[in-house]
Structure 1
């Protein structure tokens, strides 16, 4: 019924207009005797033209949309599209979709006012034939697209209007062969495709970040579970030797080894450790080495007691301490000193491990895997809020500093 009334409306409009025109011509140009037949043919021809034109429009709209209604048959289309991005991103998506529309010739966009206006060249689907030229569809001036983006919190609301470049009253006589419903649907599809692409990109980035975090956690678990065989063998061998000559020191060494191994067990979650726990592990490790290396190794710790409860990533302090021993002091003939210093300033906890060993230029500096792991874990856990620096210590050695956010009450603390 909708199709019938649409065709009837267009035909009636042409019948009324052609009748008025015929009467005007008959009264001014023709005699009453000669005016009947030609004028009747004029009216009938106009009605036939209108009916055929309207029928063709209805058929093409049904082909494009799969349904015929007053909304789809209209030559002027309005769409309301909600895009789940902020207004600026929504504007960019819509602007790109319109510029890629077939026949887009002139696109004027104003990002500040969130508006886009475009001229769309009329592409009649059946142009080229004599009927197309007779019906006037060799082409009207064209169509236009008007878009306004309205901010809606974290989303953007898009008002899309597609219409012919002619007065609205002409819709009683002329149709657009579904051109504007085609343009509106094309823009809607293009916006949906771009939104889906951005969602896929976000999901891929999130999946990549999750994979990186899982890999880092796996590396950390491996680092927890891994006790260097040489360190374990040497410690046990030293303890065995001391049981004969100095049982008290042997007992002390085994106690430190137990404390070190207890704190090195893998964790069942990826929650942060505390500075106190990490310091306990590092002290146990260093106390073992003090017994083994004797006066060649000296240790100075400057960490205030109130900082022991501060959250701190697991195993990072241990990595820096092991680097200081292996690559700085162990191969140095006279040994040296390891400093562990904690400071808090402007909401940042800075933990420094320094030595006076062979320095950055020393041979056998290792592969750097441990330090790269420290940087990557800090990036994943804190983003840009954390930092890691490693510099030469004066007059010799290396100083490595890890900086993480600190929410305690102190602003500047130290303990001797």
Structure 2
């Protein structure tokens, strides 16, 4: 019924306009006694038939596009209100790109400050090869371009898009002319493009979140494995040294085994993401260094300067141990005369800086390792503290390396700064 009334309305409006023009022309131009009633009736019939057929074509094409025919879909002027879950600037970029990629988009003006996009879109004639039929007498009936106006309204963290698609002609001509559903096509195409881009963005965010979770889980698993394992060579060498000392120096053998027990006790795996403290990590590192000191003798010296109140500062497990092991393996062991390891902790304004330094071989072709341990330290800091922690490694003077971890101060003193 809606289709019938639409076709009837256009045909009736065309006939009424023709009758009015014909009446005015006949009264103004034709002399008395001259009659053109037959011509007027015939031409009116042709005009009415053409208007009805044109309206029928419009109805059929709208049904193909929308799947239904009603007042909203039959209208040549389409309006859409689209809510986009992005802030206004991102929403503007999205709608601007969607309109630019619209088929037939010829001229576009966009103003980011006012959050508006205006565009002209070439209107195809779906049922002819080159525009309207050649027997149209007036250019008035030729297909005019369509136009699009999109306005973005900020809505907190989201953006609301008002989309208007209409013919580039005055509204009163809708009584006589149709657009064969081209503005409905434009409105649907822009809406689909926005929906697709939002979905693509969401899929990207979800994939990135899954990737981040996977990377974090993998890193935690690697660090847990590092935390759980005891280096076989270190264990074998320590036990072998203790075995030899039991014959020559039982007291030192007993001391070495006591340090090994202490080291192993602190090296047992913890629950996932469980934090340690600087004091506990210092005990582990000291047990490790005391074992090496018995083996290396005077080639290894140790100096620890960590205030008692800082020993409660939270620290990821095995982080201090990694820096100490690096200092031994790549700094002091390759150096013939050995050297000194310093473990220092200093409090700043809401932060604690923990430094492991040595006066060993330093940065050189012979002293460098693979860097896996230091990369693990950086990754662990990033996962635990984000941008709130720092890691730096520099040359020590006059020789060796100094590595410093800076973390938020979680002690009572640090809470006072917060």
Q: TM-score range by the shorter chain?
A: over 0.9
CA drift at 1:129:
6.7
Alpha-carbon distance in structure 2 between the residues aligned to 1:129 and 1:116: 29
Q: Deviations over 1:354-412 (max 9, x none)?
A: 01111112624322221122223323333333222111111111101112233545479
Alpha-carbon distance in structure 1 between the residues aligned to 2:134 and 2:408: 75
Is 1:315 the equivalent of 2:318?
yes
Query: Cα gap change, 1:145/1:408 in structure 2, threshold over 3 Å: closer, same or farther?
Result: farther
Partner of residue 11, structure 2: 11
Matched residue SS, 1:227:
coil
Match of 1:186 among 173, 176, 189: 189
| Greater alpha carbon shift after TM alignment, 235-244 vs 222-231 | 235-244
Q: Deviations over 1:52-111 (max 9, x none)?
A: 111000000111111111111100000111111111111111101111111111111111
**TM-score for both structures, normalised by structure 2:** 0.92
Matched residue SS, 1:28:
helix
What is the alpha-carbon root mean square deviation over aligned residues?
Answer: 2.2
Partner of residue 66, structure 2: 65
Alpha-carbon distance in structure 1 between the residues aligned to 2:140 and 2:313: 77
Match of 1:377 among 368, 375, 380: 380
Partner of residue 266, structure 2: 263
Is 1:220 the equivalent of 2:223?
yes
Is 1:172 the equivalent of 2:178?
no
CA drift at 1:131:
6.3
Q: Deviations over 1:166-218 (max 9, x none)?
A: 11111111111111000111111111122222222222222222222122112
Matched residue SS, 1:116:
strand
Match of 1:392 among 367, 384, 395: 395
CA drift at 1:336:
1.5
What residue ranges of structure 2 are gaps of 5+ in the alignment? none
Contact 1:124 1:137 in 2 (8 A): no
What residue ranges of structure 1 are gaps of 5+ in the alignment? none
Matched residue SS, 1:372:
helix
Alpha-carbon distance in structure 2 between the residues aligned to 1:408 and 1:231: 33
Is 1:341 the equivalent of 2:344?
yes
Alpha-carbon distance in structure 2 between the residues aligned to 1:363 and 1:370: 17
Matched residue SS, 1:34:
coil
Alpha-carbon distance in structure 1 between the residues aligned to 2:412 and 2:251: 42
Match of 2:208 among 202, 205, 210: 205
Alpha-carbon distance in structure 1 between the residues aligned to 2:124 and 2:159: 30
Matched residue SS, 2:86:
coil
Equivalent residue pairs, number: 413
